[in-house]
Amino acid sequence: MIPIYCLTSNITKHIVSIFVTLFNKYWPNQEVTILGYDKLEYNLPNNFSFISLGQEPENQYWTNGLIPYFTKMENKYFIIVLDDFFLIDYMDQNKLKYLFDITQKYNADKAMLHMCLNKSHDKEIEKDIILIGEEREYKTTLHPAIWKKDMWLYYLQPNLTAWQFEWQNQTGKTDNFKIFSIKGQQKYAVSLEDKHLYNCINYYRERKVNMNSDGIKAIINQEDLEIIRKNLND
């Protein structure tokens, strides 16, 4: 079983309960490790565990707290997902297994679970499996993905914010890393009007923005909206 890590922070840990609830709704009985800093003010279900990385780095240097942990890790592959990527549809276990099998077959360095890259330089190498072109920008995106440890650590350099980590490959340079994607990818609620969903939630918490807007309903069904509301109000 490939390990799954959800990355949180002291700033965003208030949304972990939403992440967990929707995750267990759409991908039940899957073990997940949450990596963060200060203790969560939320009792995790049995399939989730929390590991504190110590004191949160200053200046939002996101990479500094992660480097020691992943350097010591023995797993060759793992899934990375941020706490603001909420599952909004059931995980296709067969499709995930197929993607991971092909990733291992080709010794690929990354496999996207959520497609956020354009397709201008891509080609299909096996049925429904897309090889991301070398010229592609934004290959270090933190959208949910299977990462090979070597590639993860190659880009996990000191003193980078999460945004800088993602944008360091923005030039589309050739780095010889092999990245796959699969057709018909998993659905996550990740953005709305160019803002991450957690920003919208923060607006709702602090400014009482209407969560019944058509834009939000187009992404999240009514039942999941109620889950979000309940967790924000608890």
Quick check: 57 and 123 in contact, CB under 8 A? no
Return the pLDDT at 226.
Answer: 78
Q: Bridge partners of 81?
A: 6
Return the pLDDT at 15.
Answer: 84
Q: What is the pLDDT of residues 3-53, one digit of tens each?
A: 999 999 998 898 899 899 989 998 999 999 999 999 998 899 999 999 999
Return the pLDDT at 185.
Answer: 59
- Residue 166, pLDDT above cutoff 50: yes
Quick check: 75 and 153 in contact, CB under 8 A? no
Please report how the helices 197-207 and 222-233 are oriented relative to each other, as an axis angle in degrees rounded to 10: 60
88-118 core/surface letters (b: 16 or more CB in 10 A; e: else): beebeeebbebbbebbeeeebbbbbbbbbbe
Q: What is the pLDDT of residues 168-215, one digit of tens each?
A: 755 556 578 899 988 775 565 543 333 344 444 444 444 444 445 544
Fold classified for 4-189? Spore Coat Polysaccharide Biosynthesis Protein SpsA; Chain A (3.90.550)
Q: What is the pLDDT of residues 63-90, one digit of tens each?
A: 999 999 999 999 999 999 998 888 878 8
